[in-house]
Amino acid sequence: MYKRKLYLFGLLSTFILLIALASAAISAHLTRTNLAQAQLAQSLLSEHQQLSSISYRLFKQLTDELIFGKNANQAKVRNKQQQIENSLNRIKSLELAQREALGLEATLGSVEDTDELEALIQGIVEEFRAIALSNDSTPLNQQQRLQTLLEVTIDNQFREAINSAVNRQTGVVSRINASIETLNSSIVWFTISLGLITCPFILLGCYWLFNALYQPLTVIRTGTDAIASGNYHYRLPETLDSEFTDLVKALNSMIARLQEHEDQADAHRKHLEFEVESRTRALKEANNKLTQLDAKRRQFMADVSHELRTPLTIIRGEAQVTLRQAAASNEIYKETLETILEQAVNLSKLVDDLLLARAEMHEFTVDLVKSDLHNLLTQNMALWQKLTKPRDLDLKWLANNEVQVLIDKDRIAQVLTILIENAHKYSYPDTPIVLRVESEGPNINVSVIDSGEGISSSDLQHVFERFVRLKRKGNGMGLGLSIAKAIAEAHHGTLRAHSTLGKGSQFTLTLPVLQDHATSLD
């Protein structure tokens, strides 16, 4: 129903709009035609005035020729005659166009009078030529023929012809302007009449459509307010216009679903409360376990500290006793050294456990200072060469020599010592170990490369985990790489591993370079 009302109102409004557009188009066309005709008449009027001015100047120059001789003003006379000819041609062309536009009755005599005017001008010029050729010795002011030409032909006949043409074109311009004024008045009154007729109709139509739409919207708004207030038992009436029936049904269906969702939400809320209570209990238990773990960690630290005292006490006691003897034998010294070595091994194991515990808690303390990486490596090469005897340890420096880094030199030396010991332990005999340094953007890479059996891809992802020993070789506890990785991360760097089975492994320590000194190798 409401759709048909809208269609009816739209069709009537469109019809009125089409009438207004058609009227505007017709008025524009008529106005454009009248303006073109007015412009044409104005052009003719200007041409006649120009023809009159040029003709009078020509007559004056011909008179001067009679006075001063036949050779006076010849060029100017020819120029004026050409201008008159051009002006007459334009007048004829414009008069033909005007007659075609306005008709014979409105332009009666215009074309014919122009022909007569042309003949008159030509006759005047020929009369001047004839007087000039007559060789009459009578003074000019006494020659009857010249006086007739000047007073009768030019002053009377030519002036009347020109004035007649000008008056005729002035009348045409006046009639066209009157027509334009009449048309404009008609357009104004038509627009006013159309507005007076259509405005009340449009206002009444809008009022009618508003009333037709307001009642369903009021009903729907009442229903939505009820839904917003949580009254899910309210139902909208389904007796509105057909356009609103689907909307009302959808709203009623939504209210029913909301009621179902509300019931489900209550059930879920109760279930969630139960889950929260259960999770709270679980979190409390987890917290208790963490508390216990922290207590165990503290106990572990205390036990390690206690265990450290025992080997240190034994080492110090053995050394003191042996040194107090005035003349100790080689066997006593050997026994003392063996005891010290055994306790040093135990002490090393305890230190490894303590370092790993601190690494897992990210409690490494690093004393960062600005250092020259090249000097650090060259200073420790002798120590690392002793660790790798009898194999060769080569340093390949591929970066700029003045690489400045912010590091804890002892910690970084510890990382490289762990990597070099591992490379020495797992390399084939008599194969060299390469220590390669190269730049990578704002970072510097220090790689330890060996020629061993390599590590499989499945094992490579576990190589930095604690107590992981992929090769049952040596007496290590699988803690070194874990400690090295923790030290690298404490320096805001990384430690990566790359390996190929049968060819060897490469462990790369990446450290950030101080930007003021960062340069790349050309």
User: Tens of pLDDT along 46-102?
Assistant: 888 888 888 888 778 778 777 776 655 566 667 877 888 888 888 888 878 877 777
Proportion of the chain above pLDDT 90, given as a percent: 16
Strand partners, 427: 452
Q: What is the pLDDT of residue 306?
A: 56
Mean pLDDT calculated for residue range 309-322:
78
State the pLDDT at residue 521. 38
Lowest mean pLDDT among 84-93, 218-227, 329-338: 218-227
Give the C-alpha separation, 24 to 26, whole Å: 6
Least confident of 103-112, 287-296, 426-435: 103-112
pLDDT confidence of residue 368? 92
pLDDT at 468: 66
Burial class from Cβ neighbours inside 10 Å (0-12, 13-18, 19+) for residue 244 reads: buried
Task: Tell which phi-psi region holds residue 478, choosing left (phi > 0), alpha (psi between -120 and 50) or beta.
Answer: left
Mean pLDDT across the stretch 442-464?
A: 90
Q: Which residue has the higher pLDDT, 289 or 109?
A: 289
Closest CA relative to residue 487, chosen from 382, 376, 367: 367
pLDDT for 325:
80
* 8 Å CB contact between 449 and 434: yes
Residue 160 to residue 429: CA distance in whole angstroms: 135
500 beta partners: 504
- Euclidean distance between CA atoms 42 and 258, whole angstroms: 81
pLDDT band for position 299 (cuts 50, 70, 90):
low
Alpha-carbon distance of 498 to 265, in angstroms, equals 54
Mean local confidence (pLDDT), 392-407: 90
Residue 471 DSSP symbol: S
How confident is the model at residue 495, as a pLDDT? 96
Is this prediction's pTM over 0.75?
Answer: no
Q: What is the pLDDT of residue 13?
A: 75
Across 160-165, average pLDDT: 81
Burial class (CB in 10 A: 0-12, 13-18, 19+), 55: buried
Average predicted confidence (pLDDT) for the chain: 79
pLDDT at 411 over 80: yes
Say if residues 78 and 63 touch (Cβ distance below 8 Å): no
Mean pLDDT of 290-294: 77
Amino acid at 183: L
Comparing CA positions, the residue from 466, 467, 432 lying closest to residue 451 is 432
Residue 227 pLDDT class (50, 70, 90 cuts) = confident
Indicate the burial class of 309 (C-beta count within 10 angstroms; 0-12, 13-18, 19 or more).
Answer: exposed
| Residue 398 Cα distances to 19, 330, 395, 401, 435, angstroms | 90, 50, 10, 9, 11
Q: Which residues pair with 405 in a beta bridge?
A: 371, 513
Q: What is the DSSP letter of 158?
A: I
Q: Is the pLDDT of residue 500 over 80?
A: yes
Contact 157, 18 (CB under 8 A): no
Predicted confidence band of residue 4 (pLDDT cuts 50, 70, 90): low
Greater confidence, 140 or 192? 192
Range with the largest mean pLDDT of 176-190, 336-350, 422-436: 422-436
Report whether 357 contacts 301 (CB < 8 A): yes
Instruction: Answer whether the bond into residue 390 is a cis peptide, omega within 30°.
Output: yes
Residue 173 has pLDDT above 80, yes or no: no
At 520 the pLDDT is: 42
The tokens of 396 are what?
């390949």
Structure tokens at 329: 């034998």
| pLDDT at residue 522, rounded to an integer | 38
Amino acid (1-letter code) at residue 404 = Q
Q: What percent of the chain has pLDDT over 70?
A: 82
Interval 345-358 mean pLDDT: 64
What are the angstrom distances between the C-alpha of 347 and each of 61, 357, 392, 470?
A: 138, 16, 30, 24
